[in-house]
Amino acid sequence: MDPIIETHDLCKRFGGKRAVDGMSLAVPKGAIFALLGDNGAGKTTTIRMLTGQLPADRGSAKILGQDCWAAAEKLRLKVGYVPERPRYYDWMTIAEIGWFAAGFHAAEFYTRYQQWLDKFKLDANARLDAISKGEYAKVGLALALAIDPEVLILDEPTSGLDLLVRQEFLGSMVGMAAEGRTILISSHQIGEVERVASHVAFIASGKLLLTATMDELRQRIIRLKLRYEAEPPDAAVFGSVLQTNGSGKHWQAVLQDPRLEALETLKRTDGIHDMEVSTLHLEEIYCALLARKV
């Protein structure tokens, strides 16, 4: 099946700075795809190109097979988008902003908007300047969902929200994926998306460091720990080395794409003891990938 969102060698420069540098991503249907990176890594610039707000300098960005820039207007009817810090007309009530937005969309927009308000337990008569940050974020999500989007793009949707609201938010995201919607979510709170995501892409300085499904990731990045008698092993034999360290006769390495036969041989080598292979947290993987880059 063709990916729902697909970029190929996507590039964007601001002045001399490469904000996005050769980004190639593929997001399949029903995925919760987490775009992970620090502030300034290129998440928002990528998202702005995907949502047709910014043309690419080079490469392509497509959603549902259509070019994100050339077909931006058409895609707007199918792609729900919540920016990092949405701002609406704050003197309006929650109902009024929905009614206002409905003017740009199909007839069912407002009915669906009201259904999402109910689901999120939002008071339609509350003024936007009088509601909490979490409620404001939910209004943004309700507006994005009211177009009944096939694709949802959320830029740091949970930043600044309370824990309970964040959990509710993640819960509704899971529900949307269950309905077959495709979700791209950017975040620098890595631990939080670890459970819900089906796919991840780690980015830094505009570059893609690694993209994989969550299941693949467990196999592709591992930690090797052991104790040696004479010499520590040469980590490069066992895969692409992200990190090594050790103290005394204890030694460990974080490896990408480990060579399993080489590890089997190592296990049987004289003078190597207590060898252990384990998986890493998403956060540890991110740190290890960054450490190699520098």
- Contact positions vs another protein (CB under 8 A): 30, 32, 167, 170-171, 174-175, 177-178, 191, 194-198, 214-215, 218, 278-279, 281
Q: How far is the CB of 126 from another protein (least distance, A)?
A: 26
Nearer to another protein, 101 or 184 (CB): 184
| Strand 66-67 to 17-27 pairing | unpaired
Q: In the structure, how many helices (H) and strands (E) does the chain have? A: 10, 14
Round to whole Å and give the CA distance between 82 and 151: 12
Nearer to another protein, 102 or 201 (CB): 201
Round to whole Å and give the CA distance between 26 and 175: 22
DSSP-derived secondary structure letter, 43: H
Q: How far is the CB of 289 from another protein (least distance, A)?
A: 18
Q: How far is the CB of 270 from another protein (least distance, A)?
A: 22
Nearer to another protein, 98 or 149 (CB): 149
Nearer to another protein, 32 or 184 (CB): 32
Round to whole Å and give the CA distance between 53 and 2: 24
Nearer to another protein, 250 or 281 (CB): 281
What are φ and ψ of residue 156, in 5° steps?
A: 50, 55
Round to whole Å and give the CA distance between 167 and 83: 19
Q: How far is the CB of 290 from another protein (least distance, A)?
A: 19
CB 18 within 8 A of CB 9: no
Q: How far is the CB of 226 from another protein (least distance, A)?
A: 17
Residue 260 carries which side chain, given as an amino acid letter? L
